[in-house]
Structure 1
Amino acid sequence: MEQMRRFNTISEYNAFNNNETKHPLVTVVDLSKADPRQLSRMYFGFYIIFLKDVKCGDLVYGRDTYDYQEGTLVFLAPGQIAGSNGNSDFYQPKGHVLAFHPDLIHGTTLGRRIQEFTFFGYQSNEALHLSERERNLVVDCFSKIDYELDRGVDKHSKRLIVSNIELFLDYSVRFYDRQFITRDNVHQGILERFEQLLNDYFESEKPETVGLPSVNYCAEQLNLSSNYFGDLVKKETGKTAQEYIQAKLIDVAKEKIFDGSKTINQIAGELGFKYPQHFARVFKKRVGQTPNEYRSLN
């Protein structure tokens, strides 16, 4: 069985890559200093961002391969595992890695905002592809962080380092917004498939047997992570994926309400609601009328 490498501290990861540990909670790693290696599965106990500069095999998350080519960024949160595709060839890694421990950002604005950066939850085929200009900006952010690490720790270090990490992550949000727009060949048809998925779901017996469709369920059916899927729907429609599902639910509910042979309780069950009262609350919140009031007025 392939052995997993575990990196719980920044110093462990620096040692693995022949880089000096300048700060116990944050590092910018120059992978060209590392020894040639074979790809293997790795566990990280901290946030880590890979900037890849050379073709060195496929990076795998779970059972899927990252869309990970030269000039791309991959983001991993603490507790995630990345690995190889079984390629046993040795290669010389090249590129840069930004890694920071959660303890670094506790009590900072970045610590309070870190959940906003949903790309730390993206999975296969969802890496950030950079233009040359974007890549240069990322390298500049990394260089400023490394500059602060070279100066040694003083009363300004933490604020400046964390501010530069936050700036880099904010730029990454902008770059992903651009990618959602420009990578039409990857995203083409996602919304149409999402719409058809919901149509098929509500026309089947799944609502009665499984319940209401969730964002996670829809993302899995479309082979996307729930974070990436949710962000893509938001960028394309202005609605969250949950709001989109609820809008479809209400459209189906309105059509069913016109069928006078069914009670509101029966309709609630057919839509996947366990309790009719829950259906009535959701419907009134979205439509402004209860299902019975809507039936009477129409």
Structure 2
Amino acid sequence: MEEIVKIASIAQYNAMRGVVTKHPLVTVIDNSKAQPVPARSFNFGLYAVGLKELNAAQLRYGRKHYDYQDGSMIFVAPGQVIGVQRGDEPFAPKGWTLLFHSDLINGTPLGKHMQDYSFFSYEVNEALLLSDKERSIVIDCFSKIEYELDQNIDKHSKRLIASNIELLLNYCIRFYDRQFITRENINKGILERLEYLLQGYFSSDKPRNEGLPSVAYCAEALHLSPNYFGDLVKKETGRSAQEYIQSKVIDVAKERVFDMNKSVSEIAYELGFKYPQHFTRLFKQKVGLTPNDYRMKN
């Protein structure tokens, strides 16, 4: 079994890259000035943001491979596994690497809404691809963080460093929004596949046997991470993925409630509801009438 190296501290990572530790909770590395990353897998106990500028090796992100195109970024959350495969040669790309410990952002505005940066849970094929102008902005953010690390640590350091990391991540949100727009045709294709997926699901015995389709189920079937899938649906439809799926459930339910040979409870079980009252509650919430009232009115 392949050995997975645990990266638990900034000092440990800096030692591997041959750079000086300027702050115990954060580091910014110009990859061209550091030792290459050895070809093995790493389990990060830190947040990591990587900007790649030159195709040099193949990166494995989780259990998949990522071509790591020029001007692209990846984001790693604590607990994720990332590795490099390139025979006996080390991974030595140009670009920048930012790592920071969660303790750095505790008690800061960034720490309070870190969960908003859903791209830390995106998959390999969902990396952020940058234009030249966007890449320049990102490099400027890395440089600002590096500047703060070159100053003596004082009472302002934590706030200023966290603020600059937050600025970088906020730019990445903007750039991902742009990427959703520029890939509009691809996104529409995914929504069409989602429609077919849900139609097939409710035409089978899966609802009765497996329950209602979840966001995770749909994302996996479409080969997307749940977070990327959710963000894509939100950008394209204005509704959360859960709301979108529920609307499809109600569309199917509206047709089936007219089968007078079946009770509302039977229809609920056929749709994948564990308890009929949950079906009745959702139906009334979305339609404004209970299933029985809707049946009688129509």
What band does the TM-score fall into relative to the shorter chain?
Answer: over 0.9
SS at 1:194 equivalent: helix
Residues 1:176 and 2:176 are matched in the alignment: yes
Give 1:11-30 correspondences, 5 Å limit: 11-30=11-30
Go from structure 1 to structure 2 and tell me whether the alpha carbon gap of 1:187 and 1:88 turns closer, same or farther (over 3 Å shift): farther
Residues 1:206 and 2:221 are matched in the alignment: no
SS at 1:84 equivalent: strand
Shift of 1:6: 1.9
Shift of 1:31: 1.4
Q: Say what the alpha-carbon RMSD is for the aligned residues.
A: 1.4
Find the counterpart in structure 2 of residue 224 from structure 1. 224
Find the counterpart in structure 1 of residue 261 from structure 2. 261
- Structure-2 separation of matches of 1:154 and 1:254: 63
Find the counterpart in structure 1 of residue 63 from structure 2. 63
Shift of 1:286: 0.8
- Structure-1 separation of matches of 2:206 and 2:69: 39
- Structure-1 separation of matches of 2:103 and 2:220: 32
- Structure-2 separation of matches of 1:80 and 1:91: 19
Shift of 1:76: 0.4
Shift of 1:37: 5.2
Find the counterpart in structure 2 of residue 250 from structure 1. 250
Task: Give per-residue Cα distances to partners, 1:166-220, cap 9 Å, x unaligned.
Answer: 1111110000000011134653510000111000000100000000000000000
Shift of 1:70: 1.4
- Structure-1 separation of matches of 2:140 and 2:42: 27
Q: Which moved more, 1:87-96 or 1:198-207?
A: 87-96
Shift of 1:86: 5.8
SS at 1:151 equivalent: coil
Q: Is the 8 A contact 1:68 1:125 kept in 2?
A: no
Count of residues paired in the alignment? 298
Shift of 1:53: 1.6
TM-score norm. by structure 2 comes to 0.96
The one-letter code of the counterpart of 1:164 is N
Q: Is the 8 A contact 1:48 1:76 kept in 2?
A: yes
Go from structure 1 to structure 2 and tell me whether the alpha carbon gap of 1:162 and 1:36 turns closer, same or farther (over 3 Å shift): closer
Find the counterpart in structure 2 of residue 193 from structure 1. 193
Q: Once the two structures are aligned, what percentage of the paired residues are identical? A: 59
The one-letter code of the counterpart of 2:136 is N
TM-score norm. by structure 1 comes to 0.96
- Structure-1 separation of matches of 2:57 and 2:236: 32
Find the counterpart in structure 2 of residue 162 from structure 1. 162
Find the counterpart in structure 1 of residue 4 from structure 2. 4
Shift of 1:223: 0.4
